[in-house]
Structure 1
Amino acid sequence: MTTDDMDANPAVGWAWAGALALVTVAGTLAASCMMPFVALAVMAAATLPLRQALAATALAWAAEQSLGFGLLGYPLEASAIGWGIALGMAALAVTQASIAIGAERGIAPTIIAFAAGFVLYEVVLFVYGAAIGGTQAFTGAIVLQLARNELAWFAALLVLREALRLLLPTRMVPHGAIA
């Protein structure tokens, strides 16, 4: 199924968008504060039309923020809210960049989009941190840990998509990209 097929049957795309968001939000509960926004954004861009890719990314961000402030005790302070907004903006930028790179055209562009997306994500957050005076968390060790987390989630989402593609009827999971 291609993105054109999903346009004809948008329920497939929306179901996949919801599944992506749900699976990645589980990452917040499993590894508090390590939401794999880059992996989600790239996978959404690789498998969904632009509107649904952005919606999946935004839905995951909103769910993560709700869990963070509601369940995990993020402080209701301007700084925490500002960082939350910066995370969402960075994730949406990665989604847009991944589409511009052509992540939907196959595995090689998807991997390139992932690498470029991680750099973009970190740069956007660093620039925000520099603007408010909060770049102390951008050490090599922390960025490397985040990169490992994102890479593991990216690989897991690729495997999940392929497993669902094999296990479910053809109309249940997008099939066009990264086959």
Structure 2
Amino acid sequence: MQKLTRAFYDRDAVTVARDLLGKYLVHLSDGVERIGRIVEVEAYLGPHDLASHSSKGRTERTKIMFGPPGHAYVYMIYGIYDCMNVVTEREGHASAVLIRAVEPVKNIEGRTQGPGLLCRAMRIDRRLNGHDLVSDHFYIAAVPEEKPRVIVKRPRVGVDYARHWARRLLRFYIKGNPFVSKP
């Protein structure tokens, strides 16, 4: 496996989102290496995207999104689930890619079809908010031989409040993968 570089993340969110499909999300914690193949993502394009957390401006919660690319933005939803995003593009732009589902590869127990479930199964929580994804114990890696894939585009999930942004095709997943959260 080859860890992704900062330059990989320093591109527009849609390109990063599509290119994350098939990559491995790796989390080493308590001496256990957990690996999941990313099979579903959503792009959030910055403060002008009404579905993005950054649309409310820079806050204590969203400051990571405004930071440099290649860091994890981990937050809680519904008071119970942690969700993980990858910060993309230049510092100050505040775009990110939500990791929605992974296919278990190594040492993952529990369901991974959905952003909260995958974080629980991979032991990702808010302590990793702001974590540099070019580190040695929490990162995303390319695999030597990626499987061929057909990418499906759909509207993002759960953002109906975002007016016309709710209909944008910014959710991407690997066609036919059984670990996709919602076909």
Highest RCO, 1 vs 2 (Cα 8 Å, sep ≥ 6): 1
Q: Return the structure number with greater helix share.
A: 1
State the TM-score bracket (shorter-chain normalisation).
Answer: under 0.3
TM-score, length-normalised on structure 2?
Answer: 0.28
Q: Report the structure number with the largest CA radius of gyration.
A: 1
TM-score, length-normalised on structure 1?
Answer: 0.28
